[in-house]
Structure 1
Amino acid sequence: MSSVTTPSDDERLRRWRLVLGGGEADGTGRALTGTDAAMDGALAALYGGRGGDRRGGGDRSAGLGGSAPSVARWLGDIRTYFRSSVVQVMQRDAIERLGLSALLLEPEMLAAVEPDVHLVGTLLSLDKAMPETTRETARAVVREVVDDLEKRLATRTRSTVTGALDRSARISRPRHRDIDWDRTVRANLAHYLPEYRTIVPERLIGYGRAARSVRKEVVLCVDQSGSMAASVVYASVFGAVLASLRAIATRLVVFDTAVVDLTDQLDDPVDVLFGTRLGGGTDINRALAYCQSRITRPADTVVVLISDLYEGGIRDEMLKRVAAMKASGVQFVCLLALSDEGAPAYDREHAAALAALGAPAFACTPDLFPEVMAAALEKRPLPIPAA
């Protein structure tokens, strides 16, 4: 019979001391030593109000100092004492709470960080201020994140989207030489005649030659305002994956108050990311006007607008443009965010107006995006997550 081990009184005090952070208010009277003291010191440097230095005694003021070497040492410490997901949260808090963005321009800082999507967004926002001595290191950090995302997302995206393209191209009245006999037999097994030992196919399935030759067109139109940083990162990766499919002609357009077409850089999402300019205003109408001007076969085109819909341009013109694209046969999808960050902030009035046009706007995780694209390509209802 197994027994449940309960922590000793000393262990309970240790845990409470780490939670409360020391000082007169913690009430534990428990001193920290060794690794515990080092962990507490790393937390105190960021969050403050956690008495005790790394040697477990005395009060200390919080802070990482203003020098890159001290911050780089702290980054090394937290990677030693905490798991990767916690390190990423602490890095993000350090950048936001202590204003450390400028220090990311130092090569030794970048070499010490734990790369993640949020860090990439911060680096992209600093791109124009980045000295040449840091740019190569920054690209290496961005490359590591992009490669990890591609490994996680590419295979499923290709298989899901390719399956959707196959299904959308399939026809039910093929010529004899275009019949897919394997699918036809399976679809008609209920019509097997045992006395004749044969199947009478009531429905033929095949691929028409014309259908096979038509490439679908996908336009990713991505808001690059500061709040959309994670979405820009994911969109660049998905854009590169979609561009690798010969059955799809993929266009990537990013915008703030200006519009930039990055289609010719889709073979490398890192080049795409460094071609963006995070921050600034938003003119969705201008971006959609550009995308609309590049559409040659509306019935075979999917436009994916990724934006929080805080429009700085002409609202009524934006809505008219969406309505015109849909009327011409374009499949229009609006994603309020493409990230794992939870419910985004967005313009609810504009989202409601799009929904009234038959273009619902919703947040989408990277894992759901392949299904959304498959549904749009097949012209079936989108898998909108529950609010």
Structure 2
Amino acid sequence: MTDTPHTISDDTINTSDCDTADYDNARRWRLILGRYADDALNNANLSAGELKLERCLDYLYRHEYQRRGIKQGNRQNGIGGGLESSQLSAINWLNQSRKLFPKSTFERMQNHALERYQMTDILKKAENIKALEPNPATAKALLSLRGHLNQETKEAIKELIGKVVQEIMQKIRPNFIQELSGRRNRFSYSLIKHSQNFDYKKTIRHNLKNYNPDSGQLIIERTFFNSRVQKHLEWEVILCVDQSGSMSDSIMYASVCASILASLPSVATHLVVFDTQVVDLSHMAHDPVEVLLTIQLGGGTLIGQAIDYCAKKITNPRRSILIVISDFEEGGSLAHLYKSISKLNEQGTKLLGLAALDNNANPCYDPYVANELSSRGMNIGAMTPEHLATWLGDVMN
């Protein structure tokens, strides 16, 4: 299935030459190309089930004509009326699409409705919000469309975002706990069985006596696990997050990472978001849902101003980590930004600049500014949350 419908002319596909073997292909092309392909694919008679698919696809992708400014006229032949009419309501469309299409296809259609076509009718009723599939892309789309929300849907939005946050939390929290709980002590063993502490060398060595040469198998009677060196000195971590639209994916994961760090006894966590203004959200860092509902996507970018604010929060530079999550498209003085980073580096603060913090780690940033910051002591990269946990663990240990 393509993302959008397209019209074709009779000379594009000569259906007069189609034989019986081509019938299924003609129907597939009819669903791909949309109802304006009826005349060119006159042998693609859709079944009742396929007509349901066609109606769901048309309800969504007719908006592509509107997005491109193409006038939609009434049809003289084929199925139904013009593309501007539809008997499907938003809630019916969501429920039918969920049943008719595989989950991955449904999620893609849902995200197109919210992100590409701005179908805000979906957001007007709480029941519509509850019918959405909770995933990071949906949560991001809803956050970007918050200006269209009414009071009735706010709680439903909060509930959906809460489900997404909880799913992300369950996935990445173990990595942070493991990496930041202390380095492995290979000379001390623990009764706590955790895969990352597994001492396979001692386990194999201890159980070699149980090797069966006939079967080629080693019978494991006892396993060994290393303990961890516990850290007692507190670290200070400041997450400084750019609110510009290009960082919307990273903001979601940054808020979850901040909440995990805020729950650790050995880490003092600060969460700061910025555009042309700086907002300190440290008091709600433990609640990523509230953080996401508070941020304002878009606007300008003054990174240097945000860095100056964060610098004032640092009490012990040599045990402080500043993580700047940004596209590095500075709207203010670059000289001031470079000077601020150089000063923090000279004081001993650990500096990390992330052009992306999400599952894909796909950066969108100004490479020139990033290179200049790197030359002044800031580590620059794009990371998944799991890699960030590893990086923090290496620094703190």
TM-score bucket (shorter structure): 0.7 to 0.9
Partner of 2:137: 118
Partner of 1:30: 44
| Cα gap change, 1:110 to 1:206, in 2 (>3 Å) | closer
Q: Where does the alignment leave 5 or more consecutive residues of structure 2 unmatched?
A: 1-19, 66-76, 191-198, 203-226
1:58 to 74, 79, 83: 79
Number of residue-to-residue matches in the alignment: 332
| Cα gap change, 1:105 to 1:297, in 2 (>3 Å) | farther
Partner of 2:211: none
Partner of 2:332: 313
For the 8 Å contact 1:218–1:302, the answer to whether it is kept is yes
For the 8 Å contact 2:234–2:267, the answer to whether it is kept is yes
TM-score, L = length of structure 1: 0.75
What is the Cα deviation at residue 352 of structure 1? 1.6
Work out the CA distance in 2 between the residues paired with 1:296 and 1:138. 38
Work out the CA distance in 2 between the residues paired with 1:344 and 1:61. 42
Work out the CA distance in 2 between the residues paired with 1:70 and 1:213. 58
1:44 to 50, 55, 58: 58
| Cα gap change, 1:222 to 1:212, in 2 (>3 Å) | same
| Cα gap change, 1:306 to 1:242, in 2 (>3 Å) | same
Answer yes or no: is 1:356 the counterpart of 2:375. Answer: yes
What is the Cα deviation at residue 223 of structure 1? 0.7
Partner of 2:183: 166
Work out the CA distance in 1 between the residues paired with 2:296 and 2:121. 17
| Cα gap change, 1:18 to 1:298, in 2 (>3 Å) | same
Answer yes or no: is 1:18 the counterpart of 2:35. Answer: no
What is the Cα deviation at residue 40 of structure 1? 2.3
What is the Cα deviation at residue 85 of structure 1? 2.8
For the 8 Å contact 2:130–2:156, the answer to whether it is kept is yes
TM-score, L = length of structure 2: 0.74
Deviations 1:134-184 (A, max 9, x none): 21111111111111111111112211232xx436xx8xxxxxxxx97669x
Answer yes or no: is 1:251 the counterpart of 2:270. Answer: yes
Point out the more displaced range, 216-225 or 351-360. Answer: 351-360
What is the Cα deviation at residue 27 of structure 1? 4.0
For the 8 Å contact 1:17–1:26, the answer to whether it is kept is no
For the 8 Å contact 1:46–1:64, the answer to whether it is kept is no
Answer yes or no: is 1:323 the counterpart of 2:336. Answer: no
Matches within 5 A, 1:1-387: 10-21=23-34, 23-24=37-38, 27=41, 29-48=43-62, 58=79, 60-62=81-83, 70-101=89-120, 103-127=122-146, 130-162=149-181, 165-166=182-183, 212-340=231-359, 343-378=362-397
What is the Cα deviation at residue 132 of structure 1? 2.3
| Cα gap change, 1:31 to 1:342, in 2 (>3 Å) | farther
Work out the CA distance in 2 between the residues paired with 1:64 and 1:234. 40
Work out the CA distance in 2 between the residues paired with 1:359 and 1:84. 41
What residue identity is the alignment partner of 1:40? Answer: E
Work out the CA distance in 2 between the residues paired with 1:232 and 1:263. 14
Work out the CA distance in 1 between the residues paired with 2:228 and 2:105. 52
Work out the CA distance in 2 between the residues paired with 1:102 and 1:259. 33
Work out the CA distance in 1 between the residues paired with 2:370 and 2:157. 36
Work out the CA distance in 2 between the residues paired with 1:345 and 1:153. 23
Q: Where does the alignment leave 5 or more consecutive residues of structure 1 unmatched?
A: 1-6, 51-55, 171-178, 190-204, 379-387
| Cα gap change, 1:110 to 1:297, in 2 (>3 Å) | same
| Cα gap change, 1:309 to 1:16, in 2 (>3 Å) | same
Work out the CA distance in 1 between the residues paired with 2:275 and 2:21. 58
| Cα gap change, 1:63 to 1:151, in 2 (>3 Å) | farther
